[in-house]
Each structure stands twice: as structure tokens, then as C-alpha cells.
Amino acid sequence: MKKFKYSARTTEGKELKGTLSARDEQAVTEILHDRGLIIVDIKESLNFNLESLNEINIGGVPLKEKVVFMRQMATMVSSGLALTRSLEIMEIQTKNPLFRRVIAKVKSDVESGKGLAESFAAQEDVFDDITLNLIEAGEESGRLDEILLKLAVELEEKQELQGKLKGALIYPAIMLIVVVAVIALLMFVLVPEMSSIYAEFDAELPWVTQVLISASEFATSYWWVILTVLIVLGIGLKAYLDTEGGQRTQDKVLVKIPIAGNVITKMQIAQFTRIMALLLSSGLSIIKALELTAKSLSNSLFRDVVLDAKDEVEKGGALAVPISRSDYYPLLVSSMVAVGEETGTLDVVLDKIAQYYKEEVNQATANLSSVLEPVFLIIMGVTIGFVAMAIYMPMFQLTEVIG
């Protein structure tokens, strides 16, 4: 979106000047004509000012800002406030500079006659396809306030889950950093010092000590080789994982990892059932709902099952059948989906499954730290124990020789 400076007059002859954000000069002309203004001049604004630095926002619009936007917009729209006035209020009170600029552009598009979903779609990487389709469905059905409220709840649950995952992984991350730091300290500082002491006595060292000293000497002498190899491997692995085959391999490995695989499975099922329930209850067709839900799933194994289900439903088949054939969706899910299809309450049943798996995910993430803590403690204990044994065994031998 470009910025344009304009000069115009009202029908009474009053001169007006200002700036507008639009795709091109023709779009600015249309906006001004819609406002009943007589255009005098339009120029693209190329000036840079220090205020534009405040608009730089790394990482996009925060999820918390989106939650507040959806909930407050739902309240204002349900109260009968005009959509443009609601957007104007949100523009004023939004703190994030990037999101404030986006809302201003959306307000301008809505004032020119575009729909809210279409206006947000023009702003890249703000809302995903699911959100845009739901807003469009709300506009078409006249239930925009209800849809916005549902989206607020959905985003809040997403934010809550992200917070719990981050909280659960903080302690293991700290433990991992400590383990790496301890190993580096031993290999680059302590072991070389002890090695020089042992060399003075010219005594035969135990094999454990010899292995540790050899590893330390290699690390201190060829650290740049190790670093180069790690960087090359990291780049190569990233390039492979960016391919379709690499992504599938990664997804297969992730679901088979003890503890973590169980959490990932429950999260994907919770995501599938929650999004499907939201889309179906908002009036979207089951085909469109399956297509959008598949895009929201991060694991390709679970995503492929949903896409297969979409193809089968398009041919007139039941949704429960392809899900029951999958190795990744438990029997509970396919059985409940079958009940929902038979009774015509699929959205209600999916919502109940989503609530169940939400609790399962909450429990699993809460237990994640307590399960991983002893694992890292064992790794640290074994590492330190090995190094301690390698260092102190020669000391005992030297004591015996001196004695």
C-alpha cells in the first residue's frame, strides 16, 4: 500500500488536504469521489520521517492484540455501532503501531464500500484464511458480532496453549543450556589443566582418562572444524526439512518421540476438532471447513488425513470413514464423528471432542516439565560422573605410586 497526498474541494468550495493509503492513484481518486469531493491534485508521498520507525514491528501483529481486537469489535458491532466507527475506535486505542496502521487501511477500504473480510485480506500476514472466511461468512449471514466473538474465544485458547507450552519448555531449555555450558567448561578449561599435570608424572593413564583427554585436545585444536561442520549440517538439515519429503520425515519422527509425540498428537486432534466445530457452526460447508482445517494443521500426517477425508466427502462418503482408517486419529474421534453425522449434530459433537482434548493437552503440557526434568538431570549426572571418574582415577593411581 502506497501513501498519497491529496488536495480537494467540497461542493461548498472548502479546500481540504490530507493523505490516504491506497494501491494506486486511481484508488485514491475513487475514494475521494465516493466522499463527494472535487479533486484538485494527487501526488504519491515519498517523504521519510522518524515516526515511520515506530511502525517497524518484528514478528507481525501479536496474538494478544488480535484477541483484544476481535472481542472489542464484537461488543461494539453487537451494540449497533457502525462498522466504520468501530474500526475508528479500535484504530485510536490499539497500541501496536503495525496493527494500528493495518486497521487504518481497513477502515479506509470499508469506507470505500469493501467488506471487512476483503479489506483484511488485502493486508498480508495479519489474519489467516480461517479468520477471513469466518468474517466473510459473518458478513453474509448478518451474524458478524457472533463470529467475531467466536474468533476471540478461538484466539484466546490458542494464546493460552502457546503460553502453557512456552512455560513447560522453559525449564528443560535452561537445563539443556546448563548441560552444554558444563561440558564446554570441562572440555576447554578443566581437562586441559589436568592433562598438563598428569603429563609431568609420565604415568600410564586409565582408558577413560585417555579418551577424555583426546576428546579435549581435538576440541581445543579443531574447534573451528567442529563449528564449521555443525553449521553446514544445520544448513543442510534446514534445506532438507524445507522440502516436502523432509517435512514428512520430520513429522513422522516427532509423533514417535516418547512423551513429546503424545503431546503433539493430542494438540493436532484438538486443533482439528476445534477448528472444524467453529467453521461448521458458523455456516461454512463441510468441504470448505475441511479444506481450511487442513491448512491449520502443522503436522502433515494429520493434514493428509483431513485432505483425504475432504476428497471422500466430495464423492458422497462419510467423514468418519477416512478418519477411522488413519493410524493417527484414535477410535474415539472417528466414533464420535460418526455419531455426529448420523444425528446431524456434527459441529456440536466436534466441539465436545475439542473440549476433551483441550483438557488432555493442558494436562500433558502441565506434566511435560516434571517428566523432562529427571531426564536432563540423569544426562547431566552421567556426564559429570564420567568426567569426574576420568579425572580422579589417575589421582588415586598417582597417590598409590607416591605412597
Residue 10: give its domain's CATH number.
Answer: 3.10.20
CA distance 226 to 112: 60
User: At which of 123, 156, 189 does a domain end?
Assistant: 156
CA distance 384 to 352: 49
With 50 as the cut, is the pLDDT of residue 379 above it? yes
* 134 and 162 share one domain: no
How far is the first Cα of the chain from the last one, in angstroms, to the nearest whole number? 84
- Tell me the residue length of the chain: 403
Identify the sign of the CA torsion 221, 223, 225, 229: positive
* 16 and 147 share one domain: no
Q: What is the pLDDT of residue 302?
A: 92
Across all residues in the chain, what is the average pLDDT? 83
CA distance 272 to 354: 8
Compute the average pLDDT of residues 134-149. Answer: 85
Q: Is residue 346 part of a domain?
A: yes
DSSP secondary structure of 316-341? T--SHHHHHH-SSS-HHHHHHHHHHH
* 242 and 375 share one domain: yes
User: At which of 156, 189, 219 does a domain end?
Assistant: 156
Q: What is the pLDDT of residue 212?
A: 82
Note down the domain range covering 137: 59-156
CA distance 121 to 132: 7
pLDDT in tens, 237-271: 999 988 888 888 999 998 888 878 888 899 899 98
With 50 as the cut, is the pLDDT of residue 127 above it? yes
Q: What is the pLDDT of residue 52?
A: 41
Determine which helix (DSSP H) or strand (DSSP E) holds 41, and give its type and residue range. Answer: strand 38-44
CA dihedral 274, 277, 283, 285 (to 10 degrees): 100
Band (pLDDT 50/70/90 cuts) for residue 231 is: very high
CATH number for the domain harbouring residue 208: 1.20.81.30
pTM (two decimals): 0.69
Please name the amino acid found at residue 281: S
Q: Is residue 300 part of a domain?
A: yes
* 89 and 171 share one domain: no
Which long-range contacts (C-beta less than 8 Å, at least 24 apart) are formed by 101-105? 101/21, 101/55, 102/61, 102/126, 103/69, 104/21, 105/1, 105/21
Judge whether 338 and 137 are in contact, CB under 8 Å.
Answer: no
Q: What is the pLDDT of residue 56?
A: 44
CA distance 160 to 333: 23
Q: Is residue 355 part of a domain?
A: yes
Q: Is residue 251 part of a domain?
A: yes
Q: Is residue 331 part of a domain?
A: yes
CA distance 310 to 348: 19
* 72 and 144 share one domain: yes
Which long-range contacts (C-beta less than 8 Å, at least 24 apart) are formed by 161-165? 161/267, 161/361, 161/365, 162/63, 164/362, 164/365, 164/366, 165/365
* 250 and 360 share one domain: yes
Burial class (CB in 10 A: 0-12, 13-18, 19+), 97: middle
Judge whether 361 and 161 are in contact, CB under 8 Å.
Answer: yes
With 90 as the cut, is the pLDDT of residue 180 above it? no
**Residue in the structure block whose three cell numbers are 477502515:** 107
User: At which of 137, 156, 175 does a domain end?
Assistant: 156
Contacts of 334 by beta carbon, 8 Å cutoff, 6+ apart:
320, 323, 324, 326
* 290 and 203 share one domain: yes
Judge whether 117 and 135 are in contact, CB under 8 Å.
Answer: yes
**Residue in the structure block whose three cell numbers are 493437552:** 361
> How many domains in the chain?
3
Judge whether 360 and 270 are in contact, CB under 8 Å.
Answer: yes
pLDDT in tens, 304-319: 999 999 999 999 889 9
Band (pLDDT 50/70/90 cuts) for residue 1 is: low
* 181 and 120 share one domain: no
Q: What is the pLDDT of residue 229?
A: 93
Lowest-pLDDT range of 98-107, 147-156, 385-394: 385-394
Q: Is residue 52 part of a domain?
A: no
Q: What is the pLDDT of residue 340?
A: 92
Look up residue 42 and give its DSSP letter. Answer: E
With 70 as the cut, is the pLDDT of residue 278 above it? yes
* 165 and 204 share one domain: yes
* 118 and 149 share one domain: yes
Q: What is the pLDDT of residue 337?
A: 92
Q: What is the pLDDT of residue 202?
A: 67
For 56, list phi and psi in degrees, rounded to 5. -70, 125
Judge whether 283 and 384 are in contact, CB under 8 Å.
Answer: no
Q: Which residue has the higher pLDDT, 281 or 20?
A: 281
Q: Is residue 268 part of a domain?
A: yes
Band (pLDDT 50/70/90 cuts) for residue 45 is: low
Q: What is the pLDDT of residue 198?
A: 75
Contacts of 327 by beta carbon, 8 Å cutoff, 6+ apart:
none
Compute the average pLDDT of residues 84-89. Answer: 90
Q: What is the pLDDT of residue 34?
A: 77
* 283 and 384 share one domain: yes
With 80 as the cut, is the pLDDT of residue 342 above it? yes
Q: Is residue 53 part of a domain?
A: no
* 223 and 140 share one domain: no
